[in-house]
Amino acid sequence: MQAKIKKIKRVFLLFALLFIEFTIGQTANAIFIDSDINVDGIADESEWDKAKFNSEFWQYFPLDSIKAPDQTNFKILYNNENLYVLIVSDFQDNKYVVSSLKRDWSSRNNDSMTLVLDTFNDATNAFLFGISAEGVRREGLISNGGNSSNRGRDFSFSWDVKWEGEVSTNKNILTAELKIPLSSLRYDDKSAKWRINIYKTDIGKNVVSSWAKIPRNLSRASLAFMGNLNFEKPLGKSKTPIFLIPYTSGLTGNNFEDQKGISSFGLGGDAKLSIGSGMVLDLTYNPDFSQVEVDDQIINLTRFEVRLPEKRQFFLQNSDLFSSFGNSYSAQPFFSRRIGVAKDLDGNTIQNKIIVGARLSGKINKNLRLGFLNMITDSDPENEISSNNNSVIALQQKMFSRSFLGLIFINREKLEEDEIENDQAKFNRVLGIDYNLQSKDSKWVGKIWYHKSYESKNVKNNFSNGLWLNYNSRKNNLFLSSRQISDEFNSDLGFIRRTGIKSHFIKYGHRLWIDSKRIRSIELSQQLYFVDTPNLSNLITDRNHETQGVISFTNQSKFELTYNRRYTFLLDDFDPVGGENSIPLPSNNGFFYNDFEMQFSSNYTKNYYFNFQTTIGQFYSGNRVSFNTELSYRIQPKFSGSIKLRYDDIYFPSIYTYGKLFLIGPKLEYTFNKKLFWNTFVQYSSKSDNLGINSRLQWRFAPLSDLYLVYNDNYFTYDNLVPRVRSLTFKLTYWLNI
């Protein structure tokens, strides 16, 4: 008996020692200094000798169970004004891979080092600072725990802030110095500890490593796994600077459809004010988004609206506070593209002028976040668009380790009475509550929500609710979801794909990790999705049973094969082809159809990259063959070119309708240096009979200050090229620190 007790004690002691080793290894100390450091990437100041290096980086990719083969070391200093970070790392050789000299690059195809700071220790939100081997910087915000590797969801690189970073190289050693003003960060007054992580991407060796050990089934920037940063003495009160960003812009061109010239001149600007230690107030007057890249043209073969991404910077910053409610695919109560973007009388997308706006966002305390957005849009009598006051209030209260409870109130209200006749109600309001679940280790993630809309007319079935739950371990992934959007639920400022439905989804995937030189993992999955209509005796309108296999290779290429068994019942006539002579599929009919999908994407870290996808099979009562291809090539670090090609061949023999749809989109980008960038985007769609050209030159003549020249040209392509609208725009912005 005593022998067993001794054995148990030894095992317990072993685990305790392992835990202690891990804990100590995950703690770094920031040393206080009285002086400033000249950031040049050389690190020859004597102040650096006061701090000790932190090392012991773990490999994240391709394996996550071993120490990194080429180690990285870092140390941190700070004074009353700045945080200084020194990173020294071994790379395979001095032939560094840097895809572009443009700011806010992707770490997927750049030799780089990235710093992540969780300044409120909540494992939910963080700041990100990165520097490439060419000294090109990026900064961003991480939300929702950084659970997703999708940059567009949990990572926002629209956040801009002034900071310094330089690198130097000595054979295969890369040294980086970072200088981050504390006034750029939000944190608790008298902070003594933050959470921190640093990860490194080595393209040549095909290795990603991280100071904190992160499971490879999670994002490399997951906030669930970080180390601690202890400050030698508590930080002072967070500074509250004021930034002004005025702009001027002008446009000249021709509208060939109306046979008249067009011109405009604009003045406006933004302001940023820090309020307390955790809040930021953003103000905008007469904002101008002429420098924003045009939307991608699409071929939509579904019966519903397609959700296009937001690209306007003002709406992207801290957007997770407002856009994380509901379900982004089908029932999102707030979608920022509903503000300042409208439809003309012909159904074309146009800009609806924003007069003034304000956004207050940040942390009230360690556990409570607040977001307030108010934008006033102008009237457009020519297109029967009313002036509206658009407001959103969102609250997020942290619960347990990483979960949070969210409340949202949305209000869209006309500012004019009976001046413009349209179908828009006097007001539309939505009140909602969401509970977001995140386990401490990110294995369990989920949500449950209930939203209710209100309008000037009385309706009863005006709610949206749903839940989803995702379990993600190294080998297994289970996803369950169910949602209901009632007939009368409406959010004028949201994205509601369809109403009057219940939808249910289940997916199980099993992942096999392969210890091979070529194959990283194989994942097999089954999913079932169906939609029914409660008001039509629960008639099923959509069903899909999907079987999928995915092979991920160690060189970061991927192969996917999918088989779909579909059923669709049409409640309305539907014409997926959209040609002048095409005949729509008749309503009140059900269709069983099957198809195969195959996709292969090559190694995106190489100078040559391609992604090929094909769908072959039945389509409603007919047949479909689709090809979707993206080809890209870069001459690093200055030039990159790509082209997207899509072709759909659809034939319905029962109604003698067929269509051949084309979409072509070449894109060229040239970075002359770290301050001058040029890109051109050309798009042609046979479905819309439109050829569009968007060319943009950007000169960053001072920190966060830019001059843009934008050329737009659009043509009809019915028979020959017929000009539609042609314009040349300039915009000048300047960032002032007050």
Please tell me the distance from the alpha carbon of residue 525 to that of residue 519, in angstroms, as a whole number: 18
Task: List beta partners, residue 110.
Answer: 98
Cα dist from 466 to 42, 53, 399, 448, 543, whole Å: 54, 49, 20, 6, 18
pLDDT score for 603 = 95
Q: Which domain holds residue 221?
A: 29-231
Structure tokens at 709: 């020249």
- Structural domains counted in the chain: 1
What is the spatial distance between Cα 491 and Cα 334, in angstroms, rounded to a whole number?
Answer: 8
| Residue at 267: amino acid letter | L
Give residue 421's pLDDT.
72
Amino acid at 457: K
Task: Please indicate, yes or no, if residue 151 is contained in any of the structural domains.
Answer: yes
Rounded (5°) CA angle 224-225-226: 115
Tokens 């109403």, located at residue: 499
pLDDT at 8: 40
Token duo for residue 206: 């095909």
The three-class DSSP label of residue 200 is: strand
Confirm whether 183 is domain-assigned.
yes
Distance between CA atoms of residues 384 and 691, nearest Å: 28
Tally Cβ neighbours within 10 Å of residue 263.
Answer: 10
Kindly report the number of other CB atoms within 10 A of residue 667's CB atom.
Answer: 19
CB 724 within 8 A of CB 256: yes
- Per-residue burial over 620-630, b = 16 or more CB atoms within 10 Å of its CB, e = otherwise: bbbbbbbebeb
pTM over 0.75: yes
Chain-centroid distance of CA 510 in Å reads 26
Give the pLDDT confidence score for residue 346 in this predicted structure: 77
Asked if 87 and 72 count as a contact pair (C-beta separation under 8 A), the reply is yes
CA distance 208 to 199: 7
pLDDT at 7: 45
Structure tokens at 71: 């180690």
Q: Rg of the chain's alpha carbons, rounded to an integer?
A: 27
Query: Over the chain (738 residues), what is each successive 10-residue block's mean pLDDT?
Result: 46 37 66 96 95 95 91 96 96 83 91 96 95 96 78 77 94 94 89 96 93 93 95 86 94 92 95 89 94 87 91 85 93 95 82 95 93 96 92 96 96 81 86 96 95 88 96 96 96 96 98 92 98 95 98 96 98 88 90 98 95 98 97 96 97 84 96 97 92 97 96 90 94 93
Residue 70, classed as helix, strand or coil, is: coil
Type of residue numbered 364: I
Specify the pLDDT at position 24: 40
Quote the pLDDT of residue 711. 98
Phi, psi of 153 (to 5 degrees): -110, -60
- Whether 147 is in a domain gets the answer yes
Q: Is residue 356 part of a domain?
A: no
Closest among 478, 483, 543, 474 to 507, alpha carbons compared: 478
Please tell me whether the peptide bond between 637 and the residue prior to it is cis, using omega within 30 degrees of 0.
Answer: yes
- Reported as half-sphere exposure (CB side, CA atoms, 13 A), residue 694 has a value of 17
Q: Report pLDDT for 148.
A: 67
* Three-state DSSP state, 293: coil
State pLDDT tens for residues 526-568: 999 999 999 999 999 999 999 999 999 999 999 999 999 999 9
Q: Are the beta carbons of 189 and 175 closer than 8 angstroms? A: no
| Per-residue CA distances from 738 to 36, 182, 271, 357, 700 (Å) | 21, 16, 10, 21, 20
Question: pLDDT digit string (tens) for 44-56?
Answer: 999 999 999 999 9
Instruction: Look up residue 598 and give its two tokens.
Output: 């195959």
* Alpha-carbon gap, residue 385 to 339, rounded angstroms: 12
Q: How far apart are CA 545 and CA 243, in angstroms?
A: 53
Q: What share of the chain is helix, strand, coil (3-state, %, to 5)?
A: 10, 55, 40
Residue 311: inside a domain: no
Amino acid 9: pLDDT: 43
3-state secondary structure of 625: strand
Q: Is residue 174 part of a domain?
A: yes
Tokens coding 185: 């960060």
Containing 153, the helix (H) or strand (E) segment is: helix 151-154
Q: H or E segment at 17?
A: helix 2-25
Please identify which residue in the block is written with the tokens 């395979």. Answer: 92
Judging by DSSP bridges, how do beta strands 539-553 and 260-275 pair with one another? unpaired
What DSSP letter does each residue of 658-703 carry, written as one string? EEEEEEEEEEEEEESSSSEEEEEEEEEETTTTEEEEEEEEEEEEET
- Rounded-to-integer distance, Cα 599 and Cα 610, Å: 11
Burial class (CB in 10 A: 0-12, 13-18, 19+), 393: middle
Nearest Cα residue to 330 out of 449, 483, 207: 483
Residue 590 in domain = no
CATH number of the domain where residue 58 is located: 2.60.40.1190
As given in the structure block, the two tokens for residue 90 are: 């071994």
Q: How far apart are CA 472 and CA 218, in angstroms?
A: 8
Q: Which two tokens stand for residue 489?
A: 């639920």
The answer to whether position 21 is within a domain reads: no
